[in-house]
Amino acid sequence: MVALNPIVYWAQNQKDIFLRVELRDVKDENVVLLEDSLRFEATGVGACGLDKYAFHFNFFESINPGKSKYRATDRQVEFSLRKENCGKWWKRLTEESLKLPWLKIDFDKWKSPEDFEEETRDILQDRPDILRQLQEDEGVIEPINYRQVYLFVYNMAQFIGFLYIFVVMMINYAKKGPDSMEETFSNVGEVFKFVQLMAFLEILHVIFGYTKGGLMACFIQVLGRFIVLFGCINSEPRMQTKPVVFYLFFIWSLVELIRYPYYMFRVYNIEVSFLTWLRYTIWIALYPLGFLCEGVVYLRTIPYAEETGVFTIALPNAWNFAFHFPTAIRTLLLCFFFPGMYTTMIHMQRQRKKKLGPSYLRQKGE
């Protein structure tokens, strides 16, 4: 009786080779592990149901059997094989460059041999050149990554939105000069509200692991802009004609016209050095100016909110609850605005050090 081939996933890091045999309820396994080869036979439930499965191949490089191990669980069989030459990157798993249909790359477990940052990054981010070579050697066609497609489309849509806002503002300013400032909100306010609402998705991206980054910094930035835009500007027509709205929209748009293209390229691991430098440098000038404009908006909103009572809930009412919007703005300024500004600036400084520090220069060969 000829044994079937189970599906085997493999990955590697600097020291080890990892194998994951897709075989459940394994019985009567027979494993022969040598320095240059591996033979596996067992009965279990695989892709073709309950049957006898087996495989055998020679390694691309030698391993250390004494420091290698395997275990069979109810769901699969796992191998951890120590490389004889630790630190050497294997071009492929098998000695011969044959395309084995049952052997696949375990992208989730693959680790890069280089660790430029504190957090080890996977090969999909660090070594796309090696990934492509492995796919060619083993006949693997990378499936469509719908998460990448979604993130690219999202960032592109946000970029187009802010580009429209910026272009309209600049055209109006070129035509009318400073007189165009009072028309800023009426010209681009609706589009700005839309892209700002879309920005709440970025919080979900971090929560669900679609993107890496600090949740607190992202939350502070998105929520802060939401309060300024909807709570202070959109709710008070007299605020909408102030020049500070023009300056604020200009700064926000300029920041995003750099940030979103950077993320678009990073989704597919494309490094544009100048864009990276801009992304982690221009904030040094723009963020303080943006915070200054936001602070002015808060202060100018307080007397208007006192006069109109917008968002204020007075007692008595059915809920027995009171809320005074001007007091909330003052509290926000004193207790959250400045700590939030400090948190955001520190976060960006750490990111700049990480992205443009010595590890970045080593990657670029500088």
In the three-class reduction of DSSP (H, G, I as helix; E, B as strand; rest coil), residue 46 is classed as strand
Decide: 283 and 346 in contact? Cβ < 8 Å: no
Which residues partner with 342 through β-bridges? Answer: none
- Integer Cα distance of 309 and 321 in angstroms: 15
**Cβ atoms < 10 Å from Cβ of 165:** 23
Domain range list for the chain: 8-138, 146-364
Q: Measured between alpha carbons, how far is 322 from 339 in angstroms, rounded to an integer? A: 26
**What's the token pair of residue 327?**
């007091």
**Nearest partner of 34 among 72, 5, 62, 11, judged by Cα:** 62
pLDDT tens across the length of the chain (366 residues) = 577 899 999 998 888 999 999 999 999 889 999 999 999 999 999 888 899 999 999 998 999 999 999 999 888 999 999 999 887 888 888 888 777 889 988 877 766 544 434 333 444 444 455 555 555 555 445 567 888 999 999 999 999 999 999 999 999 999 999 999 999 999 999 999 999 999 999 999 999 888 877 788 788 889 999 999 999 999 999 999 999 999 999 999 999 999 999 999 988 888 888 999 999 999 999 999 999 999 999 999 999 999 999 999 998 888 889 999 999 999 998 888 888 888 888 888 988 888 887 645 444 544
CA distance 359 to 264: 22
Point out which residues pair with 74 in neighbouring strands.
none
CATH of domain 8-138: 2.60.40.790
Q: Which residues are catalytic?
A: 287, 294
How remote is the C-alpha of 253 from its chain's centroid?
Answer: 21
pTM of the shown model: 0.62
Q: What is the 3-state secondary structure (H, E, C) of 225-291?
A: HHHHHHHHHCCCHHHHCCHHHHHHHHHHHHHHHHHHHHHHHHHCCCCCHHHHHHHCCCHHHHHHHHH
